[in-house]
Structure 1
Amino acid sequence: MKTIATPRKFAVLLAALLLCSLLVGPFVHAESGSVSKARTTWLWHTALIQTDSSELLDFAKSQGVGILYLQISTKVDLASYRSFIRQATEMGIEIHALNGAPDWALETSRPKLDAFMTWIRDYQRSAAPEEKLAGIQVDIEPYLLPIWKTDYAALVNQWQNNINQLVAQASDIGLPLSAALPFWLDNYKVPDSEQSLSSWMISKFDSVTLMSYRDSAKAIYDTAKTEFAEGEGMNKKIYTGVETKPSKEGNSITFYEEGIDVLNEQLVLLEQMGGSHSSFGGIAVHDLVGWMDLALQKVAQ
């Protein structure tokens, strides 16, 4: 994966990017400076908030991002979280705590989930109003574990139990809980039930972000149609995900080869197509650093 290696280079290139956007217009077809909850993104490179918070948030705002999923790392000091979230709040961008791993579906990993939620609870209690988190997202992906193929029912039952625990804890903290999920869970059933696994998941979370990674609006929309229908029946929001980083699964998964201009064209089309569903929440771009790299490639040309 191509990433921005140094803060100094990061700042210089981003300054050029933002200058370019002023000269030729914003990369997204949105009102200048506006943000919307319909545009979201992930930030896994948490350490960057200690050195490049303004650059990250300026880019996010320039793209109309209204929600940023920030992975929580205990290696990052609390003062950096407070400062970053305060800056984001001033820009109208919500910060949602992000974490997860495949083994978070296992009952033996319950202490990891509890530690994550305890960190959020403690942080919220000590943060000023403008420094508080606005939500939580989990990215668990247990289908990457060998047990998915060897004992599906046992794994899913544990996954469900852990999700129920997360839902209860998020409710106690007073924050909405969302999840990143693959688009194909509608092909699987809840053990000993006719309910689709995607439907069960949608029913539990306040919103769901599908990893519906394809390199055209129509292909992305087609992967999400079943979940849109399920979400409509529950009055839940479904976000469609797009990929900007290189993918080992093939070029059709990501916009990395097509570039920022094609990405922006397809995002607009996807918003138009998704808008026909009341359950369509918006688009999630994976991830912020990959998105910035894609935009910087255009500036460098």
Structure 2
Amino acid sequence: MDGAGTAATLRATWLWRTGLEPRQVTNFTTVHGVGEVFLAIPWVGPTPAVLDTLEALTRRGVRVSALGGSPEWASRPSLAAEWARRLAGYAFCAVHLDVEPWTSRSWPGHEVTYLARLAKLTAFLRARTGLPTEIDLPSWIAVRHGPAFRQVAAEADAVTVLAYRDRASAILNAAEEARAILTMLGRHYRLGVETRASREGAHVTFFQEGRRAMERELNAVTSTIGEEATFDGIAIHDLDGWRQLPN
């Protein structure tokens, strides 16, 4: 796959490790048709390494979103505001939130409260940064907490639905409820898949199957729903894991 393509065929990826050489990153994104990188921004703000990667990707025509998040941001939006303040003046096209309050110890029994806070945080950061804001949401949130999923999605410009499965049919089945809600809201979305080893089992990641199997299954997903107006393609977690997949 080369760098040309429609929104639905272009890939996105998370880049958490910012120590890679910019040339390594740009070569990989060009070869694999990556149209957007969610680039992790440390708490202290963009470092020289981050800025070098941002510049190299932008020069290649790849969109770069500022990636950040912590479970405590849902309860303490002032922390998110402090992080976002350090983005000012840099050429990020959007903010990409990976807050994950469901990993908090106090999540059980307080799910709806946490998701309501996440919705408020999303709206808050959109207003604070003036940038489009996309958020990661696991597909199971839509199944177990549909109204709360809708509340969060309504405050975002787009959603990455984490549908971590290793077969096209399973990816689409996992994301079915989320896709229905997002379509009803008119929200653009991507489907996220995993390439790293997972404690949840082999069925949630392409770690064991490798790159060719992943391409086959993701192409099947895109062939099935690629014509949907709000589908913006596949997001692959993450660039490091993707690079290390066997062929």
With the length of structure 2 as denominator, give the TM-score of the two structures: 0.91
Is the Cα contact below 8 Å between 2:188 and 2:231 reproduced in 1?
Answer: yes
Is the Cα contact below 8 Å between 1:244 and 1:290 reproduced in 2?
Answer: yes
- TM-superposed CA distance for 1:116, in Å, is 1.4
Change over 3 Å in CA distance of 1:90–1:47 after alignment to 2: same
Q: Provide the residue aligned with 1:84 in structure 2.
A: 53
Change over 3 Å in CA distance of 1:256–1:153 after alignment to 2: closer
SS at match of 1:291: helix
Identity %: 27
Structure 2: distance between partners of 1:133 and 1:279: 22
- TM-superposed CA distance for 1:179, in Å, is 0.4
Q: Provide the residue aligned with 1:169 in structure 2.
A: 128
Structure 1: distance between partners of 2:216 and 2:115: 38
Question: What letter matches 2:179 in structure 1?
Answer: F
Question: What letter matches 1:42 in structure 2?
Answer: W
Q: Provide the residue aligned with 2:139 in structure 1.
A: 183
Structure 1: distance between partners of 2:184 and 2:116: 24
Structure 2: distance between partners of 1:218 and 1:157: 31
- TM-superposed CA distance for 1:77, in Å, is 6.1
Aligned: 1:93 with 2:49? no
Change over 3 Å in CA distance of 1:266–1:69 after alignment to 2: same
SS at match of 1:143: helix
- TM-superposed CA distance for 1:220, in Å, is 0.4
1:249-268 to 2 correspondences below 5 Å: 249-268=200-219
Aligned: 1:54 with 2:20? no
Is the Cα contact below 8 Å between 1:203 and 1:234 reproduced in 2?
Answer: yes
Question: What letter matches 1:34 in structure 2?
Answer: A
Q: Which runs of 5+ in 2 are unaligned?
A: none
Match of 2:182 among 224, 231, 236: 231
Bigger mean CA offset, 36-45 vs 255-264:
36-45
Change over 3 Å in CA distance of 1:272–1:74 after alignment to 2: same
Structure 1: distance between partners of 2:227 and 2:147: 23
Aligned: 1:119 with 2:86? yes
Structure 2: distance between partners of 1:282 and 1:154: 30
Q: Runs in 1 of length 4+ with deviation above 6 angstroms?
A: none
Change over 3 Å in CA distance of 1:158–1:77 after alignment to 2: closer
1:210-221 to 2 correspondences below 5 Å: 210-221=161-172
Change over 3 Å in CA distance of 1:65–1:176 after alignment to 2: same
Matched pairs, number:
245
Change over 3 Å in CA distance of 1:236–1:152 after alignment to 2: closer
User: CA RMSD for the aligned pairs?
Assistant: 2.0
Is the Cα contact below 8 Å between 1:41 and 1:284 reproduced in 2?
Answer: yes
Question: What letter matches 1:40 in structure 2?
Answer: A
Structure 2: distance between partners of 1:74 and 1:146: 22
Match of 2:100 among 128, 141, 144: 141
Change over 3 Å in CA distance of 1:157–1:209 after alignment to 2: closer
